[in-house]
Amino acid sequence: MSEHVDPTAPLQGEPSKSTERKLRKEARVQIVSYFLMIFMTSLAFFSIASDAVDSSFAIPFIVIVGAVQVVMQLYVFMHMGEKGTGWINTMIWSGILIAALTVGALMFLIGIVKY
């Protein structure tokens, strides 16, 4: 980038060939993972909605499927796996850590007290 760039001027030109290739590949990855997520959501839905699956299996199963989907969203749709995302990973994972501790603490603390 040159020093005197007007950031409000419309960008012109074409993406470079390597960028275009990367974008095309990315679009494919995104669409495939979208269908994967649809599939996982449907799987979780049917394991609860139908009586075919025993609930002692279905409950841990849907929680794991939900967690996998969250991680996929973060790394595929939100690009958390790219280069230069060290701080971003630090922030979101410390958020998730505190959230997990909060969920655990609240569940067991309020859940046990008779309200």
Partner 1 sequence: MAEQQASTYEQLPPNPETATLDGRNKYLGFWFFLGGETVLFGSLIGTYLGLRAGTADGPGPADLFHLDLVFIMTMILLTSSLTSVMAIINMKRGSHKKLLGWMWGTVILGAAFLGFEIYEFYDYYQQGLGFGTSAFSSAFYALVGTHGAHVLFGILWISTLLIRYRNSGITLTNAPKFNTAVLYWHFIDVVWVFIFTVVYLLGIGG
Q: What is the DSSP string of 83-115?
A: TT-HHHHHHHHHHHHHHHHHHHHHHHHHHHS--
Q: Which residues bind partner 1 (CB under 8 A)?
A: 1-2, 5-16, 19-20, 22-23, 26-27, 30-31, 34, 37-38, 41-42, 44-45, 47-49, 55, 58-59, 62-63, 65-66, 69-70, 73-74, 77-78, 87-88, 91-92, 94-96, 98-100, 102-111, 115
Nearer to partner 1, 31 or 81 (CB): 31
**Cβ at position 81, least distance to partner 1 in Å:** 14
From CA 66, how far away is CA 23, in angstroms rounded?
28
Residues 6+ apart with CB under 8 A from 50: none
